[in-house]
Each structure stands twice: as C-alpha cells, then as structure tokens.
Amino acid sequence: MEYRVTHDSMGEVLVPQDKYWGAQTQRSLENFQIGTEKMPPLTVRAFGLLKLSCARANAKLKPQKMTEEKLSALTKAAKEVIDGELNAHFPLAVWQTGSGTQTNMNANEVIANRANALAGKELLHPNDDVNMSQSSNDTFPSAMHIGAVLAIKESLMPALSTLIQTLLRLEEENQGVIKSGRTHLMDATPIAFSQEISGWRSSLEKDAELMESALEKVYPIAIGATAVGTGLNAPKGFDREVANELARLTGYPFTAAENKFHALTSKSELIFAHGALKALAADLMKMANDIRFLASGPRLGLGEIFIPENEPGSSIMPGKVNPTQCEAVTMVAVQVIANDTAVGVAGSQGNFELNVFMPVFNYNFLNSVRLLADVITSFEKNCVRGIRANKEKMRANLHGSLMLATALCPVIGYENAAKVVKRAYQQGETLKDSCVKLGFLSVDEFDKVFHPEEMV
C-alpha cells in the first residue's frame, strides 16, 4: 500500500494514498481498534447534509471567508458524501471519543481533500473552511438528530405503513369470521377475527403517532452552540441559517435549538423518541406471539390460522415448518428493548457542558430503527400478507369453548351458569346437555338464548 504524508497540530502522519481522510482520522483509526462496529452510514450522510448547510450559511454570513469558489468545490464533495459515494473513506469505530470529535474531523478531512482534488489545488482546509463556525460538540449532536429523523421518516415509517395497510386488508377479508377469544391464555368469550386483527393494526397506528409526536422534539438541532453553548466563533444568526438550509435540503422542518446549553449536554428528546421505538417493539412482540400461537400445530396446537411455509423447520423432524418470521420479530424486539437501556444510560452522562457518550447513543438508536424497519418489511412480506383463517378449526374451537356459558348469565344467573360449566367440564358434556340435565333450561329455551355468533 502506498502512503502520503499529512499533518495535524501534533505532527506528521502517514495516510493511505487512496483515501481522502487526513491525520486526525488516521490517528483515531490506529488508536481505537475496538470492536467491529463502525460509524453508521446514515451518520455519514447526516454529516454531509450538515456540512453543506453550514457552508451555505457561512457563504451568506462570512462571504469573505467562504467564497463562491470554495463553496462550489465544497458543495460537490459534500453531495458525494450525502449520496454515499465516499462511505469507504469513513472507517472510524463507534468506540472513540465520547464527543464524536474524530468523526466530525473525518467529515472535515474527507470533504476538504475531495474538494481539493476536484478543484485541482489546495483550496479548502478541514478546520478553517469545512468546520468554519462549528465545533465537534455541536455538529455531532446535530448529526444525531438529523440521522434519527432520516431513519424514522424514510425507512421505518414507510415499512410500518405497509404493514398497517396489509392488516387493513386482512380485516376486510375476515369480516364475519368468529372465533374464541382468550385472556390469561385461557378460553374467553367470542371475538371476530377481524376485531383481533384490528387490535394489532390500531396498536401499530398508535406507535406511528407516538413516533411522529416524538420527532417534533427532535427537529431542533444544536448547531451554533460551538464548544460549550455560547456560540463562540459562530456569526450571529448562523444557527438559524443552517437549520433553514437543512430544512430546504431534506424537506423536514429542522430548526435551531433555543437553549444551546441544553442541546449540548442533554439527549432527552432522543431518549423520548427511542421510547416510541421501544413501544413499537413491544407491540410487534405481542402481535408476533399472537400469530405464532394462533398458527401453532399444525394438529396439536391452536391451528386457527395458516401462515406461509417458507423453509424447513428441522434438521431431524421431516415436514416440520416453524414460525420463523415471528421469531425474528421477537428477537428484534428484545434487541430494541435492550438498546433502550443503552440509550437511557448514555443519555444520562451529560457532564457539565457536554454529553460524552454520543457515539454509543447514536449507534444504538440507529441500530434500533434499522432493525425495526428491516424486520417489519420481512414480516409483512414473508408472513402477514399470507395469513389465512382456518375457519373450520375456529368454528370447532368456538363451539367447544365452555366460556360461551357467559351468554347464559342474564337468563339463569352467574352461579347457575358456573355450575353448568363445571358439570360440562367434569362430565365431558356440551354446555347444552349440562344445562338441560341440571334443569335450568329446556332444549328449546337453550337454543333460543344461545347464539355464539351474536356474542361479538
């Protein structure tokens, strides 16, 4: 491998000739060889958007320093970062300085060096030009907010919307299909299968509303705070100009955080947003468990629904097929709930004027969004859209349920209905036989009041 000599304030460093990063990135790469987790590509994209927005703001407020020539070259390089064309030049580990300083410098160096290559001369300096009016302390938290918005709005919400639409279709297809309800894992009164599906669908709709509500608090960004929140070295109005440029670039209503001291040290808005992700994970866990229990069998379980058979389920039991998509959903839910602990603890580490657990916070937040979006897409495609009701099994289970005796309570009273249930269970009788033998109702009277399909 060929190297070039570059330098920073600490001296000269050898950097691979084919990479656009500089000395500070190289030092971090050598000093933090920890784990396999790299800074997420979405964070790189967020930095590209932020650096471009800052450059445009500087061009308005400091035109003598951010000249048209510099802005033009920087814009081209930043757009390549935004489009993911330079991802190979962002090699840093999550496990680095807690402020994310080295990732900020990685962005500054790559954009400056790429812009210089495009310009054919040394036009931009990583600190003086690309990082103009900024600090790592306000760029990294701003990039965290940008990445969170992009991930939820462009990845998770579309996947969730597709799943909700599929559930709406299943509701329509299963109108009038009556089955036994269950509480405490025990038989309960009847429910329409469409009503059961509507419960899943409504839960996911509420989760989408929670996420949208949480994002309202994420749109304000820390930019303009610079090192400790005072805005040192940033021109007046820089924060608003950057937020306005960012809103134009992305189409999302980013604004400048009102209190920069809060914006640097607190991560409460993102903790709150991850709480909405955890709520979604919990509802997906419930839905996936319901589906795999309802599909259990095929002969010795509930067997009330059919789900797609995607792959063999056993290396030893021929013909076995398992609810693998449901299991993937529940495993992702476990990971997201675990990530919420990491996010909460990391968010609590705001010491004086800065939170110094931002890379691990950011990594786990984006990890949750990516996993949820991916598993929802897979779950909808490979399981939910293929769900079919086993109407015969539903009908058999419904009419075999002793909890249908609830319909008798208004006629013979709770205690007598309980006697009917106990006798039917102990003697292996139907509710009708038990009720008639106990003398509470005649056959005709029983038939007149006992209509399970009307109990929903």
Task: Output DSSP code: residue 136.
Answer: H
Output the CA torsion sign for 422, 427, 428, 432: negative
Collapsing DSSP to helix, strand or coil, 182 comes out as strand
The Cα diameter of the chain in Å comes to 101
**Residues across the chain:** 456
How far is it, in rounded angstroms, from Cα 100 to Cα 20?
Answer: 19
Backbone Cα Rg of the chain: 30
The two tokens of residue 131 are: 């990082």
Scanning the structure block, which residue is given the tokens 């790469």?
29
Tell me if residue 184 is catalytic: yes
Query: How many H-runs (helices) and E-runs (strands) does the chain carry?
Result: 17, 10
Beta-bridged to residue 308, according to DSSP, are none
How far is it, in rounded angstroms, from Cα 337 to Cα 343?
Answer: 10
Q: Does residue 359 have a cis peptide bond before it, meaning omega lies within 30 degrees of 0?
A: no
From the candidates 314, 348, 399, 451, give the one annotated as an active-site residue: 314
8 A C-beta contact, residue 10 and residue 24? no
Scanning the structure block, which residue is given the tokens 């095929």?
298
How far is it, in rounded angstroms, from Cα 357 to Cα 97?
Answer: 8
CA 429 to each of CA 294, 393, 410: distance values in angstroms, whole numbers, following the listed order: 25, 19, 22
Q: Which residues, 6 or more positions from 60, have their beta carbon under 8 angstroms from its beta carbon? A: 241
How far is it, in rounded angstroms, from Cα 167 to Cα 152?
Answer: 21
8 A C-beta contact, residue 78 and residue 344? no
Give catalytic residues, as residue numbers: 184, 314
